[in-house]
Amino acid sequence: MNKVFHWFVILSAYVLSLLMVLIMMSTSAHSAERIKDLASVQGVRYNQLVGYGLVVGLDGTGDMTTQTPFTVQAIINMLAQLGTTLPPNQSLQLRNVAAVMVTANLPPFARIGQQLDITVSSLGNARSLRGGTLVLTPLRGADGHIYAQAQGNVAVGGVGAVAAGNRAVVNHLSAGRIASGAIVEREVPSTLGQGAYVHYEMRSIDFGTAQRIVEAINREVGSEVARALDGRVIRVNAPEDPSARVAFMGRVENISVQPVRGIAKVIVNPRTGSVVMNQMVSVESFAVAHGALSVVVTSEPVVSQPNPFAGGQTVVAARTNIEIEQSGGALMHIAAGANLADIVKAINALGANPQDLVSILQAMKAAGALRAELEII
């Protein structure tokens, strides 16, 4: 019996150890991220394109040409290119045309003939672009060269109606999309690295995470393959054959790395009252009291009229009332090392709104109780 119990204890300890290892492995795998999520290849980037064009075929919802002279000028230029010349000083009063800006992102390694999605946005005072067609519009890059041509029917995710001075609008009608509305006409040279090296740029500067990426690549691919140049750039020795380099980079970018925990940060937007804190935020032991103070000053006119035989004059005087009201002011104690949930719970217990929370956090930072970087955007 003792022997059976002895083996049962050993088996239980083994099973418990195995469960602990599995839990640790699952936790580590859950928190790990791929290199492609932490960094991007240097030089592989999007390029922004922009163009100016016209949307035609609108149902009386276009620009008021009497108030948008650039629309009239664009119409005259377009007709001139198509062989139609208008008489001098011709007055155009159209409501089925709208001047628009066309924007698109040219992806890396884009080839001639590839189609791009574009965004069309009204430039004048058009009420809606619904049902309109974009006329052929060249899209230029930052260097002034034409990289794509855009044209197509504008899709607007909304609807509106105007009648007798009343207007009803659902969603935004002054901008729309054209799926596959542009065709690439010029390629942007893109290279995968410089010579024997490929450089990865981390999305945020972090020396600890950069070192972990280097260790993971060297452990997975081979020693001395990767080297961190600074807290953002990592140099990787890659094969020079194009096909072999693509396969190598596909292998590298899928390596899992557990990044170093970021810094504790509190983001405050005083314009909207938004406050965002990450889970690393902690506080020292402190006490906080918050109360609302309101001062109301009212003034009302009072007529002072003398007796009929007094010989005085009727005058108007002002009677002023001042009311001061203070509410709240309860003292709340928060222990050291409190996490995000404790901070939010304690401040909510004070009855503080988001605008009050901004002032409380600034006071906590000034008092040295907030163990986090306070950033106001």
Question: What confidence score (pLDDT) does residue 150 get?
Answer: 97
Q: Quick check: is 38 in a domain?
A: no
Band (298; pLDDT cuts 50, 70, 90): low
Q: Quick check: is 325 in a domain?
A: yes
Mean pLDDT for the stretch of residues 280-309: 66
Q: Quick check: is 72 in a domain?
A: yes
Residues 252 and 287 in one domain: no
- pLDDT beyond 60 at 164: no
Examine the fold and report which residue of 155, 184, 213 is the final residue of a domain before the chain moves on: 184
Residues 164 and 269 in one domain: no
Band (143; pLDDT cuts 50, 70, 90): very high
Q: Quick check: is 28 in a domain?
A: no
Q: Quick check: is 11 in a domain?
A: no
Compute the distance between CA of residue 295 and CA of residue 327 in angstroms, rounded to an integer.
12
Residues 117 and 81 in one domain: yes
- pLDDT beyond 70 at 224: yes
| Chain mean pLDDT for the chain | 79
Q: In what order do the strands lie in the sheet with 265-269?
A: 274-277, 265-269, 373-376
Largest CA distance in the chain: 124
pTM: 0.67
Band (333; pLDDT cuts 50, 70, 90): low
Examine the fold and report which residue of 216, 233, 257 is the final residue of a domain before the chain moves on: 257
Q: Quick check: is 4 in a domain?
A: no
Q: Quick check: is 250 in a domain?
A: yes
Mean pLDDT for the stretch of residues 345-366: 72
- pLDDT beyond 90 at 363: no
Residues 180 and 51 in one domain: yes
Q: Quick check: is 32 in a domain?
A: no
Question: What confidence score (pLDDT) does residue 293 get?
Answer: 47
Compute the distance between CA of residue 8 and CA of residue 6 in angstroms, rounded to an integer.
5
Q: How far apart are the first and last CA of the chain?
A: 71
Alpha helices, DSSP H only, in 139-292?
Answer: 207-220, 242-252
Boundaries of domain holding 216: 197-257
Mean pLDDT for the stretch of residues 200-225: 90
Examine the fold and report which residue of 149, 184, 219 is the final residue of a domain before the chain moves on: 184
Question: What confidence score (pLDDT) does residue 30 get?
Answer: 47
Band (226; pLDDT cuts 50, 70, 90): very high
Mean pLDDT for the stretch of residues 47-59: 95
Band (23; pLDDT cuts 50, 70, 90): very low
Band (72; pLDDT cuts 50, 70, 90): confident
Identify the residue with better confidence: 350 or 35: 35
Residues 218 and 278 in one domain: no
Residues 133 and 209 in one domain: no
Strands 265-269 and 373-376: parallel
User: How many structural domains is the chain composed of?
Assistant: 3
